Chain A
């Protein structure tokens, strides 16, 4: 074994290796899960007028007449070559669809999460440092409101207010004004791609289209982050080492941010990971309301018509995303908390 590898890098390498069995499990489960879906894709694909013979013919074309292990091997081969099959309903290769739709969902979720963090974390910190003050009550109100209003309702309410009544927001139809052409895909994030293309007008339009759905989703994700920040801060502020820091005369700023917040941030990171996961899945409704061409609405449509290649591709993409996300959180954790580096 090479000696020159620094311990942190080795630890990260080990975490990456630990993700391998998870990925193998995902591949198997997505395969089995899509085979267990109700409905016969061959019947759907053949259309309402098809007879038995043409259904059988299509079934053979799709490879569904073969035994499960043979289908699985074929599936593995396809995966290795990046072939996720063709969507029955759109006729497009699933991989192409995912490549265009996943960034749309990611852009929306990430911006929503950034918004949410920007509001929730300071709110949680302030609420924890001033228990029972107005800011604490505000925090409690926002948290309760955020979780109790369903996203489709907040989404519709925002559209009604800002588009219909005030006219500030563009129509809730997709990611860009129809006047603009989608930029050349580089990252798939319109905000970045339009800047790369030098079309700042389009950037502005993308931003305007993004704001309402992002706010809708942010309102929903605000609650867990604010709650966890507040709880973690309260717990850390009550701990012994904060008392030591105060008794040593460290300034309030230093105690609050240098000592308390850095310790409280650990559980907040964990929560962020969870929130990100469920936001990515839960934004189906937001995508529907704003006609956002994301991965959630794609998956729902595919599920309804038993488009198993598309569902399989969606589940696979999401699962890999979750693994990557958890990996990132693990690595951040290891970097923040020295106690976790002990495992070596």
Chain B
């Protein structure tokens, strides 16, 4: 089976505020990470966003990007998490 190890799910959860998506997308574009899909919802008054991103051409390794985004999240006051897509595919697809 084809391994698509570069596809990453980025989730942003927290209190809604101006410019969350802009700041995350700015980081992604600065590091050559391509966004494939974005969806967004409000769960129990919390802003909840999920992005599917392709890190194939990213200029930094996965671990570094994950840490950078975590720090960025702390600055904005939201929780940003980077996970490889496979865990969700394995769990929710037969």
A and B associate in one complex: no
Q: Which residues of B contact A (CB under 8 A)?
A: none
